[in-house]
Amino acid sequence: MPQVLVCGAGGQLGQELVATGPAHWQIIPMTRSMLDIADSDQVARALDEVRPAWVINAAAFTAVDAAESEPELAQRVNATGPEVLALQCRERNIRLLHVSTDFVFDGTQGCPYAPDDKPKPLGVYGRSKLAGEGAVLAAGGNPVILRTGWVYSRHGGNFVKTMLRLMAERAQLSVVEDQIGTPTWAKGLALTCWGLADHAEATGIYHWSDAGACSWYDFAVAIRAEALELGLLQQAAALLPIPASQYPTPAQRPAYSVLDKTSTRELLGLSGSQWTNQLREMLVDLKQQEQHVKHLS
């Protein structure tokens, strides 16, 4: 059975990749503590031991604001690591699927970004991810780069879980209304990764997120509505839409980062699911997890 080594297996996407791996692949999960992707010797040993057909790199430094004060760490994880993986994979004729971000764009285009649109990142995070993309492509070896954005799941920290916590604690929240993107459930993103791995002709840059677009405010409103209906929230916190200028952050974010998924849909034969439907499924998943934990305790 062919093997796939998943880097960053402890993260949101990594855990979903492991959980959704197709039966015809043997999944070898590697967490950050198990494999430092920026260490060439470690990567070489891991690849020689496993000899996978594919490496899927879900490892990333994704703390956008923290990257502004920790640029060296962001560069090491998001640029050096992918370069090391790409070079070591090329030497061994192993395919590499590297996950990147919508933050490689500046958000001024005003319509969905296609894979061949010119990147222009606004901050350290986006620049480090773009550098990683460039290193992967320069290494050769027929890699696949999959850009995505606004990823969330029941695992780890993300916007959905932060909103659920804050809405349970506070009577009122202010949420930015003039930054537009598309939420992406990590489970659907993982399935898209597996779809690309199953297509030998896949090469170059692809985009994936759920269907549609919204602001962070719209996203928060949907989270509140679904969580109330499922009983994940007991009170309806007031949500106030505000411009990004009233919520300053260390990192500048693109005002519009919706991705054009046409080429990915055509290759994989996918229609894509509306982001609101995916959010509902994730929250049902989260509720079942909470009930399971309560039952065990």
User: What's the pLDDT tens digit per position in 212-226?
Assistant: 999 999 999 999 999
User: What's the pLDDT tens digit per position in 277-294?
Assistant: 999 999 999 998 877 667
In this prediction, residue 107 carries a pLDDT of 96
User: What's the pLDDT tens digit per position in 69-84?
Assistant: 999 999 999 999 999 9
Compute the distance between CA of residue 30 and CA of residue 43 in angstroms, rounded to an integer: 11
Q: Which residue has the higher pLDDT, 57 or 110?
A: 57
Mean pLDDT confidence for 44-69? 96
Compute the distance between CA of residue 73 and CA of residue 75 in angstroms, rounded to an integer: 5
Contact of 213 with 181, CB cutoff 8 Å: yes
DSSP codes of every residue in 164-199: HHHHHH-SEEEEE-S-EE--EEHHHHHHHHHHHHT-
User: What's the pLDDT tens digit per position in 2-50?
Assistant: 999 999 999 999 999 999 999 999 999 999 999 999 999 999 999 999 9
User: What's the pLDDT tens digit per position in 134-144?
Assistant: 999 999 989 99
Contact of 27 with 52, CB cutoff 8 Å: no
In this prediction, residue 42 carries a pLDDT of 97
Which residues are the active-site residues?
125
Q: To which CATH superfamily is domain 3-157+183-213+254-273 assigned? A: NAD(P)-binding Rossmann-like Domain (3.40.50.720)
On the question of pLDDT at 271 being above 90, the answer is: no
On the question of pLDDT at 243 being above 80, the answer is: yes
On the question of pLDDT at 295 being above 70, the answer is: no
In this prediction, residue 272 carries a pLDDT of 82
CA gyration radius for the chain? Answer: 19
For the entire predicted model, the pTM comes to: 0.94
In this prediction, residue 297 carries a pLDDT of 61
Q: Where along the chain do its domains lie? A: 3-157+183-213+254-273
Compute the distance between CA of residue 212 and CA of residue 202 in angstroms, rounded to an integer: 24
User: What's the pLDDT tens digit per position in 135-185?
Assistant: 999 999 899 999 999 999 999 899 999 999 999 999 999 999 999 999 999
